[in-house]
Structure 1
Amino acid sequence: MQYLRLLLLPFSCLYGLIGIIRNFAYQNGVFASRRFDVPVISIGNLAIGGAGKSPMAEYIIRLLSKEYRVAVLSRGYGRTTKGYRLVSTDDSTLQAGDEPLQFKKKFPEITVAVCEKRVYGIEQLQDNHDVIILDDAFQHRAVVPGLSLLLFDYTSLDNPFIVLPAGDLREPFMGRERADILVITKSPLTISDEDRKRAIKRVKPFSHQQVFFSYLKYGDCLPLYQGNKMALASLDHSYTVYLLTGIANPKPLLDKLAIAGCEIRHYDYPDHHPFCRKNISKLAVDFSMDAGLRKIIITTEKDVQRLRSVSLHGILEELPVFYIPIQAEIHPFDNECFNSIISKYVKQHL
């Protein structure tokens, strides 16, 4: 499939040229970009989805929220509402989007807002907050963040850095120069110096950029409706896992379950997929027809926000559906320096 996509290279050249012109226009004042006095931290990536932006946003929330009034501002992809909206724990994904709702449910004490126009959103938040985190905003050039984090997925570093549609980049690779910090996400828990050097060489940091490595920490399996918390380590070859995902890159989770030796039956949908009764009914029927004694349905923390829909409750409430929360963690050799940069930036700009 990757080789077939290369046939689309002429269109990628056109797409890339448009991106270069757009960035040039913002860089030279043709299009307006606005800076704010309140500290603004942008988290984004070059590729479409799957780099771990939400776990990284949550990492920074955990780092800052005990000391500062934190707000997270997102576009709210997949919502049917328009304009600026404060997210409530009682919202649905159609009202708020799956990722903003996840932030609010995990950190109810912070402010989470959605708005297509980030400038307007920041205007609404700046007077009552000490720091604003912009989720998935690297290409949103109307705002000039005070600190910009650009994420690269370790598991995808070998993919060619080609823009859409032949590749996966939203803009040309040279756009990484705007970032202050590069974070290579989803790296192995233990990584050799050789592999670190290879990864750093691949992302080609500029002289003003520091590179950090993060990994994913998986929590225990939590029930959606029924059952008790289940240790992820308790899954083994005796289990059949019906894995339901609607995320950009389910490979790290697949690899994690494969290590446990589970038999995996993957129901794979596109990122932010709005699960409907037909999708879930098929899963429920397949699950009920399985004669195995040790079987379980597993999904992601992001997907479970959409599975809580009222229309799906009747299908799922009697099934053993579990989700696995994840956390981004900065590697020990990077942790202190990374935390210091984030905290120092906020402190110095208040």
Structure 2
Amino acid sequence: MKFIRIILFPIVPFYYLITWLRNWLFNVGFKSSKSYEFPVICVGNLSTGGTGKTPMIEYLIRLLKDEKSLATLSRGYRRKTDGFILADENANADTIGDEPFQFYRKFNNISVAVDADRQAGISKLRSINPQPEVILLDDAFQHRKVNAGFNILLTAYHNLYFNDIVLPTGNLREPRSGANRADLIVVTKCNKDISEGEKKKITSKLKIKSNQQLFFSYVDYAMDVLSESDSKELSKLPKFTLVTGIANAKPLVDFLVEKGLKFDHLEFSDHYDFRASDIENLESKSLILTTEKDYVRLGDYKSLEGKLYYLPIEIKIDNAVQFNAAVRGFIN
């Protein structure tokens, strides 16, 4: 894969030019972008994935759900349906996608919808009863037809966008200058003990604008693993099989190794669609630990009941009071 990316390097300038030109056309008004009179918050990134958008959406839900009526709107990546769908009791990972289904399972009293056309999705969400007061757009930073009132841009500590180039050789969906559209920039997946000196170094390289704020966050792993009907203490787990279908499993693997846990790792691509042969292989395992995103797909298999658990995570934001105030300030 790396070799293919290297030999495709001559395409990089063309991809850069096309995406830069597209952004310029939106910026100067040749391409239209719809704005809204109610709060629309976009969470996204410049790269192709692995920055922690789902935990950030969940952070915002926890922050705002008791203050405003909320809706999330996602594309529903790799779902087996089309068009607008509002999650209900019949929803699953196939109908709305794994990450939206995770939101639906986890949070009561919010609306969860999917639509590849974000403008149409917002319009349909505002027609439901009760009407959501705030809409959270998941992974919509490049959807320029919607002019979100507030943009939160994520960049992972171990793959900061200033060290990257655009596709197909790099991982950026658009040039680094796209970061100028962000209101808040969050460096995600930092070490818990990141130093002030390191923060200053990153701040300098990111070249934050005067109208932007920069924050740092880390992943906080739970100390218990969960299933639908059971929980186990993480530190007391016997040897298990770790199953991941996420963009970057390294932070999770590193955490489990640091805890001194013994496990084998079955690593799949992001949003992997598990096949019958994969399930048959997993059925032979005595204990399986996975991510919450993978659990919402694997949990449907009755043959894995009693042996399948997931490790919950949350993000913790440095200067959370300031971050929360910035979000609430926009909404209010």
What SS class does the counterpart of residue 61 from structure 2 fall into? helix
- Is 2:161–2:172's contact at 8 Å kept on the other side of the alignment? no
**How is 1:90-105 mapped onto 2 (pairs within 5 angstroms)?**
90-105=90-105
The answer as to 2:166 corresponding to 1:166 is no
1:158 CA displacement: 8.3
* 259-268 vs 214-223, which moves further: 214-223
Letter in 1 for 2:252: L
* Corresponding residue for residue 266 of structure 2: 267
Letter in 2 for 1:176: A
Please state how far the C-alpha of 1:223 moved relative to its aligned partner. 3.9
What is the RMSD computed on CA atoms of the aligned residues? Answer: 1.8
Deviations 1:270-315 (A, max 9, x none): 1111112211212333x36xxxxxxx31100001111123xx322x
Q: 1:224 aligns with which of 224, 227, 234?
A: 227
Q: Residue 177 of structure 1 aligns with which residue? A: 180
Q: CA deviation at 1:62?
A: 0.6
Q: Is residue 306 from structure 1 mapped to residue 305 from structure 2 by the alignment? A: no
Equivalent in the alignment of 2:305: 317
Contact 2:41 2:135 in 1 (8 A): yes
Partner AA of 2:168 in structure 1: P
Q: Are the equivalent residues in 2 in contact too, given 1:85–1:114 (CA < 8 A)?
A: yes
User: Aligned ranges for residues 39-78 of structure 1 at < 5 Å?
Assistant: 39-78=39-78
Matched residue count = 329
**Structure 2 residues not aligned, in runs of 5+:** none
Tell me what 2:239 maps to: 240
In the alignment, the residues of structure 2 paired with residue 273 and residue 140 of structure 1 have an alpha-carbon distance, to the nearest angstrom, of: 24
Contact 1:89/1:101 (8 A) holds in 2: no
Percent identity between the aligned chains?
42
Matched, 1:205 2:208: yes
Q: Say if 1:64 and 1:49 are closer, same or farther in 2 by CA, change over 3 A.
A: same
Aligned in 2, Cα 1:133/1:225: closer, same or farther, shift over 3 Å? Answer: closer
Q: Does the 8 Å CA contact 1:162/1:169 hold for their aligned counterparts?
A: yes
Give the equivalent residue in structure 2 for 1:346: 331
Q: Alpha-carbon deviation of 1:328? A: 1.2
Q: In the aligned structure 1, how far is the partner of 2:40 from the partner of 2:218?
A: 24
Query: Are 1:249 and 2:248 matched, yes or no?
Result: yes
CA contact (8 A) 1:71 1:131 kept: yes
How big is the shift at 1:172?
A: 0.9
Q: TM-score, normalised by structure 2?
A: 0.94
| Secondary structure of 1:216 counterpart | strand
Alignment check: 8 A CA contact 1:160 1:167 kept: no
Conserved? CA contact 2:244–2:291, under 8 Å: yes
Equivalence map 1:122-201=2 (5 Å): 122-126=122-126, 128-157=131-160, 160-201=163-204
Deviation at 1:262, TM superposition (A): 2.1
Q: Distance in 1 between matches of 2:295 and 2:202?
A: 32
Contact 2:119 2:145 in 1 (8 A): yes
Residue equivalent to 1:292: none
Give the superposition deviation at 1:18: 1.0
Q: Which residue number in structure 2 is paired with residue 17 of structure 1? A: 17
Alpha-carbon separation, structure 1, partners of 2:317 and 2:228: 32
